[in-house]
A and B are shown apart, each in its own frame.
Chain A
């Protein structure tokens, strides 16, 4: 197994609802190696999405440490976390979350506006990302002119355009039919296998989880692991 990309060390997370503190994890430990493709399953309310939020730096743990690429990230301030996300993490959501007024190419270009790349370099990167997801011919289409599967492929292109090490996918096929879901999952496999992207995917679907290298089952704040490659 290669070096760890992410490590969770004794991570605790709880939310406050009213006057009550609702614990999600108690001292959770986890290691995700580089170029891993892990599926996280578990019942509703088990904390899958919260875990994804913590890994992506859009939420902070109540206690413990999160280490990304050998650097602690749980203690970064909001601005540094934003830079961390822009440079290291690509997000893929269940409902695509594309900007309706932008074309596919412009949606893909959005994360690059935060970089120092010039227009030409940005255009080249966008074209590459769109060709990877097979949507070069839909670059000028707006999301409303694309099918669900195509929109999710644009979202994947947006997630990979800044060449992040980590892709976080939250139910990426939850809104797609079986055939399209298969295409999207195969694409994620390709990104993992050929481009070396580390992928953490939350899913309810055991069929989707089979595309990952391994599956973690999260329940009551603890993991149980099943190696799907075995």
Chain B
């Protein structure tokens, strides 16, 4: 027998109570794991945003257009390295309920500005040279089972063609992979020129510009220069860092971070009380045994360690089971949502946070019972007075 085995035997001396407590911890960590995965997916755009990339939108609302001429003028601003543009197509494939982003872009500069999109050179060249070419992110391609060479008809819930059709025909020429699992690939892109010439309205306008600066140090100056340049025009602009833009975009749906933190916080506060109470009860029940252990030579510090060890083991078992389920659920969620909320990946960061939470929960719930156990007076506890 070892001291760890002693801790384990103490923990499971009342199996039903331990199982119920482990179950409560399991639920809390499963909730944490799933919500953290979800939040992670939602924040993927923020986390992977380039530090040297800026987004220029119409100042009134980012859904409003701006003239394509702005692109050329912006290219002349000091500190700017690359400028590209994009336009929201509002596209869907067969079923409008299955969401993915469909964007009309200027091919070469768009791919240049997003080096985290990995694409074989031949596919890149095909995309630049073919007016009806379509590039699909890996998530979308997998979702619909598309292969390079497929003819893909996409419909728009915003635009119509000049000929009255709401469907555009494309040829899939390549599939974009993310540099890391955190890079969202739930999108398709196609040539702006093809879109502009065939759409029934919109003319020479674009949705937004993406600007890559020479260095992140230039961001502030470029942001100011661009907005000043287009001030007092019919299409005033608002320039933000890509990270700020992604964050503001997310916050339209409410402060998800706060909501998730509140849910997880409530779950953990409840668990803290449940586990803390269980540990207190456990120590109170064992007052006599702890006194005997002290009598035969266990120091107060060792008793403290044994009780803390017990609460840590309790939270680690429950927490690990909860995380295992959350990890499995992340795959199910990815399949169910098709990556519509971003890549549902259970990252090492979530695992590290979970371990920290387990340790904190174990220490907090064990602290008071352990101190109580440590202070048990042998003479009083054994009624030896």
Question: Given A15-B385, A49-B385, A79 and B379 touching (CB < 8 A)?
Answer: no
B296 touches which of A49, A79, A91, A101 (Cβ 8 Å)? A91
CA of A110 to CA of B1 in the docked complex: distance in angstroms? 8
CA of A144 to CA of B301 in the docked complex: distance in angstroms? 30
Most buried by A among B289, B294, B378, B385: B385
Looking at chain A's contact residues, the main secondary structure is helix
- Residue A86 is within 8 A (CB to CB) of chain B in the complex: yes
Question: Given A50-B385, A83-B297, A113-B1, A101 and B379 touching (CB < 8 A)?
Answer: no
Q: What A residues does B299 contact at CB under 8 A?
A: 78-79, 82-83
For window 345-385 of chain B, which residues contact chain A by CB distance below 8 Å?
A: 378-379, 382, 384-385
Q: Is the CB of A58 within 8 A of B379?
A: yes
CA of A53 to CA of B13 in the docked complex: distance in angstroms? 30
For window 49-96 of chain B, which residues contact chain A by CB distance below 8 Å?
A: none
- Residue B266 is within 8 A (CB to CB) of chain A in the complex: no
Q: What A residues does B297 contact at CB under 8 A?
A: 82-83, 85-87, 111, 114
Interface size class of chain B, counting residues whose CB lies under 8 Å from the partner chain: 20 to 34
For window 1-59 of chain B, which residues contact chain A by CB distance below 8 Å?
A: 1-3, 6, 9-10, 12-13
Q: Which residue of B lies closest to A123 (CB)?
A: B1
- Residue B315 is within 8 A (CB to CB) of chain A in the complex: no
Q: What B residues does A59 contact at CB under 8 A?
A: 378-379, 384
Q: What A residues does B378 contact at CB under 8 A?
A: 53, 58-59
CA of A100 to CA of B9 in the docked complex: distance in angstroms? 10
B 106-128 binary contact with A (CB < 8 Å = 1; else 0): 00000000000000000000000
Q: Which residue of B lies closest to A100 (CB)?
A: B13
Q: What A residues does B13 contact at CB under 8 A?
A: 100-101
Interface size class of chain A, counting residues whose CB lies under 8 Å from the partner chain: 20 to 34
A56 touches which of B10, B12, B293, B295 (Cβ 8 Å)? B295
B3 touches which of A78, A79, A113, A170 (Cβ 8 Å)? A113
A 99-127 binary contact with B (CB < 8 Å = 1; else 0): 11110001001110110000000000000
CA of A101 to CA of B1 in the docked complex: distance in angstroms? 13
- Residue B248 is within 8 A (CB to CB) of chain A in the complex: no
Q: What A residues does B12 contact at CB under 8 A?
A: 101
Q: Which residue of A lies closest to B293 (CB)?
A: A110
Q: What A residues does B1 contact at CB under 8 A?
A: 102, 106, 109-110, 113
CA of A111 to CA of B297 in the docked complex: distance in angstroms? 7
- Residue B288 is within 8 A (CB to CB) of chain A in the complex: yes
- Residue A153 is within 8 A (CB to CB) of chain B in the complex: no
Q: Which residue of A lies closest to B286 (CB)?
A: A99
Q: What B residues does A165 contact at CB under 8 A?
A: none
Q: Is the CB of B2 within 8 A of A170?
A: no
- Residue A197 is within 8 A (CB to CB) of chain B in the complex: no
Point out residues on B near A: beta carbons under 8 Å. 1-3, 6, 9-10, 12-13, 288-289, 292-302, 378-379, 382, 384-385
Given contacts A97-B382, A101-B10, A102-B1, 13 further A-B contacts (CB under 8 A): A15-B385, A50-B384, A53-B384, A58-B295, A83-B297, A85-B297, A86-B297, A93-B292, A97-B288, A97-B289, A110-B293, A113-B2, A113-B6
Point out residues on A near B: beta carbons under 8 Å. 15, 49-50, 52-53, 56, 58-59, 78-79, 82-83, 85-87, 91, 93, 97, 99-102, 106, 109-111, 113-114, 158, 170
Q: Which 10 A-B pairs have the closest CB atoms?
A: A86-B297, A101-B13, A82-B299, A97-B292, A85-B297, A58-B378, A101-B9, A111-B296, A106-B1, A49-B384
Q: 27 A-B residue contacts at CB 8 Å?
A: A50-B385, A53-B384, A56-B295, A58-B295, A58-B378, A58-B379, A58-B384, A59-B378, A59-B379, A59-B384, A78-B300, A82-B297, A83-B297, A85-B295, A85-B296, A86-B297, A91-B295, A91-B296, A97-B289, A97-B292, A100-B13, A101-B12, A106-B1, A110-B293, A110-B296, A111-B296, A113-B6
